[in-house]
Structure 1
Amino acid sequence: MNDQTHHNTSGSVLLASLMLPGLATLAMALPSDARAEAPPEKSTLSLKYGNYQDSESGWTRVTVNAPQVYLMTPIGEQWSVEASGVVDSVSGASPRMHTLRSGASRMEDDRKAGDVKVTRYFSRAAVSASFALSDEHDYTSKALGLQARWSSDDNNRTWTVGTGFSRDRIDNQSNGVNTAINQRKRVNEIMGGVTQVLTASDIVQFNLTRGMGSGYFNDPYKLFDNRPDKRNTWIGLARWNHHIASLDTTARTSYRYYSDTFGVRAHTVDLELVKAVGPWTFTPGVRYYMQSAASFYFDPVLDSNGNYNTAATMQRAAGISGYRSADQRLSAFGAWNWSMKVAYALSKNTTADVKLDLYRQSSSLRIGGGSPGLSPMNARTIQVGLTHQF
């Protein structure tokens, strides 16, 4: 999901809790933790650099530069340690209500984030504990995680259970439209899943996650933003990987369903194709996403020509009592994301890669129609990386 008026600079975009659309690709640029229940034989070092930029109606809005580092190393024969770090440098402008450009302000911020995970391996099982920290000038998030996974005797089925806890502090004492001094947010999650090998060419996975959040969910950089102090979620995820022998290509597909007590219902469908040609690996991908609006989201008022009516929209917002938000991320919209990743094996242990993501979000892209009066948004993400095993 996708977004400060005073002087030339304003507060952070609250990147730790309010992810801009498309920025998820930067957050997921590091290697995943999916692997067999055996300690790694080699250490892995990965360096990546990502650049994100989005725009509305030809107006460049937000730019993010994100250098990242990831290190995983075995410790003895039964342990491994992983650590990663990223620095997001964010600049640009963000609208205060809907896509009202005249209400935008400048924002400049740096977010520093890192995490560490320790894993203990057994004969057909593994247990992991992790800690993560993300810090901006007005937002700090700390998280703990525990996960256990174990395999059947034939190693064709793996069960996974996990739990996570995050504790966030929001403190925009001077720059916010709605001042949030020492506000807190808590989120607890539990997850269960199973991965099954069906054939020599097919693997499927099913995960179910329950999230329970309480505390401060408002965006202090938006006018008329008042949200419930509880947000509970359900997330269901199904994956199917299939190797097409005749093309020597692997298709990776997934479907994700999301619902929360704000009233948002979202569907995500993903397809990637992985094709190796000598030292090259090509991974084109496409994703479709759509969501319904939160129950307290209010639409802008349009004039007879379909243009944004600022005064009427402000009047409508002022007349709403209780929960209300003009945050575009809580509107009803659809989005397409096209990607291409190209990797080249420089040697047996070293790989260089580059990835391009193109994102298009619009209310008209939602099946059945979306929220009116919102400008389409485009985003572009470029990542380059180098991974070495030793």
Structure 2
Amino acid sequence: MQTHLDDSALKKANAGVGSLLLAASMSLVASAPACADEPPEQGSLAIKQLDYFDYQSNADRIRVKATALKLIAPFAGSWMFGSSITTDAISGASPAYHGSGLKKMQDRRNAADMDLTRYYENSSYTLGLNYSHEEDYISKGLMFQANFSSVDRNTTYAFAAGASNDVINPANQLVQNEKKTVRDVLLSVSQVLTPVDIVQLGIGFSRGRGYFSDPYKVFDERPRERDNKTWNLRWNHHWDALDASTRFAYRYYLDSWGIKAHTFNLDYVQNLSNDWTLTPSLRLHSQTAADFYVDAGPADFPFPPNPPEGAIHYSEDHRVSGFGAVTYGFKLSKKLGEDWLVDLKYEQYRQAAGLKLFGTGSLGLPTFYARTIQLGLSRQF
């Protein structure tokens, strides 16, 4: 949500190929920070280019190239219009099970969203629409967001609700005209503790119904229901002596598939001379496997293991396995005059069973790697 901590609004990811495309391009354009009762003083136009590449220890996999354009335009004193357009192309190969059975794939996704915000003295209200189209996946969404600030502006309460309706028609025609609906609610409170400290607590609920399986994988039959809860904690601290800030975030995730996940984020924002800013970052993630996940086994190689006899639900997708992951990187930005900003962001991701923080992970999976490079240019007006 657009609170003091610049937490983005409700987010979702599609199934199958769509999840990779959306996850890879969601970081292209960030939401504009704003207090509940203060529209931005200037508008902005930003363009970002992303290059994403992932691979496993046994093979190269996916390449995504994405371009996004974001517009923020305040008008009439108390209104703001926002809109973004994203297009990305995917190529490479995706495993049919675990990390094996690679199948070539190619797709393109076009997405757009827009939102309108009305600001009042101590509150703001936002209504947004989004649309995403791929060869085999169409998603339509609607969101509403409300922020309320205390009179002294030290406390902000935020509420957001979102709904998406998706239609899935895979190219292999194993299923046709499948549908999925997701409903989300997010509540948060942000509190200014000191002149240099602010914290945010949030809780989210999501209810999904419909087709969640991956039609491009063998032995993949998931429940047609998925409910989850998230708990979020954020803390920002500014170091006056260093002219720097630290941003810490923790999220706990729990869903009806049996997945439990912990995610820790730490960013260090260092202002440098001549309007340069350097932001190194670190993220740790650990999750348990879904109840229906089928482990990889050396006795089955190179063939996929059969699901347990009599099982109704099963999946050999490494994304619902038990694993740990570490992401590290940096962002370097430079102001060019009063109105221009250029930035470069690099991230490296590593996922493996042995990185799981609590207990053992799903053994037998090859280590998964991903690299992201993002270049952006924006102008205020």
- Name the TM-score class by shorter chain: over 0.9
State the SS of the aligned residue for 2:319.
Answer: helix
The residue number in structure 2 matching 1:19 is 20
- Closer, same or farther: CA 289–357 of 1 in aligned 2, 3 Å: same
- Closer, same or farther: CA 25–256 of 1 in aligned 2, 3 Å: farther
State how far apart, in whole Å, the 2-side matches of 1:192 and 1:318 are.
40
- Decide which of 290, 294, 297 is 1:294's aligned counterpart: 290
State the SS of the aligned residue for 1:262.
Answer: coil
CA drift of 1:182 comes to 0.4
- Closer, same or farther: CA 292–13 of 1 in aligned 2, 3 Å: closer
Give % identity.
38
State how far apart, in whole Å, the 1-side matches of 2:260 and 2:280 are.
27
**CA displacement 1:265-314 (0-9 Å, x = unmatched):** 011000000011121000000000010000000102213xxxx6234x43
The residue number in structure 1 matching 2:317 is 327
State how far apart, in whole Å, the 1-side matches of 2:86 and 2:70 are.
9
Aligned residues of 2:24 and 2:64 also touching (Cα < 8 A): no
The residue number in structure 2 matching 1:28 is 27
- Decide which of 149, 157, 160 is 1:159's aligned counterpart: 157
What's the C-alpha RMSD, in Å, of the aligned pairs? 1.6
Aligned residues of 1:13 and 1:107 also touching (Cα < 8 A): no
- Closer, same or farther: CA 372–320 of 1 in aligned 2, 3 Å: farther
- Give the TM-score of the pair, scaled to structure 1: 0.91
The residue number in structure 2 matching 1:42 is 42
- Closer, same or farther: CA 25–90 of 1 in aligned 2, 3 Å: closer
Matched letter for residue 348 of structure 1: E
State how far apart, in whole Å, the 2-side matches of 1:168 and 1:13 are.
10
Describe how 1:20-99 pairs up with structure 2 within 5 A: 24=23, 26-36=25-35, 37-57=37-57, 59-99=59-99
Describe how 1:243-262 pairs up with structure 2 within 5 A: 243-262=238-257
State how far apart, in whole Å, the 2-side matches of 1:301 and 1:362 are.
15
The residue number in structure 1 matching 2:4 is none
1:199 aligns with 2:198: no
Aligned residues of 2:114 and 2:128 also touching (Cα < 8 A): yes
Ranges in structure 2 where 5+ consecutive residues have no aligned partner? 1-13
1:351 aligns with 2:341: yes
**CA displacement 1:118-173 (0-9 Å, x = unmatched):** 0000011100000000110110001100010010010000000111000000012x
CA drift of 1:97 comes to 0.6
Aligned residues: 365
CA drift of 1:25 comes to 5.5
State how far apart, in whole Å, the 1-side matches of 2:20 and 2:253 are.
16
State how far apart, in whole Å, the 2-side matches of 1:206 and 1:271 are.
16
1:126 aligns with 2:116: no
Ranges in structure 1 where 5+ consecutive residues have no aligned partner? 1-11
1:373 aligns with 2:364: yes
The residue number in structure 2 matching 1:142 is 140
State the SS of the aligned residue for 2:213.
Answer: coil
- Closer, same or farther: CA 25–237 of 1 in aligned 2, 3 Å: farther
Aligned residues of 2:15 and 2:213 also touching (Cα < 8 A): no
CA drift of 1:320 comes to 4.9
Aligned residues of 1:14 and 1:138 also touching (Cα < 8 A): no
State the SS of the aligned residue for 1:181.
Answer: coil
State how far apart, in whole Å, the 1-side matches of 2:135 and 2:248 are.
38
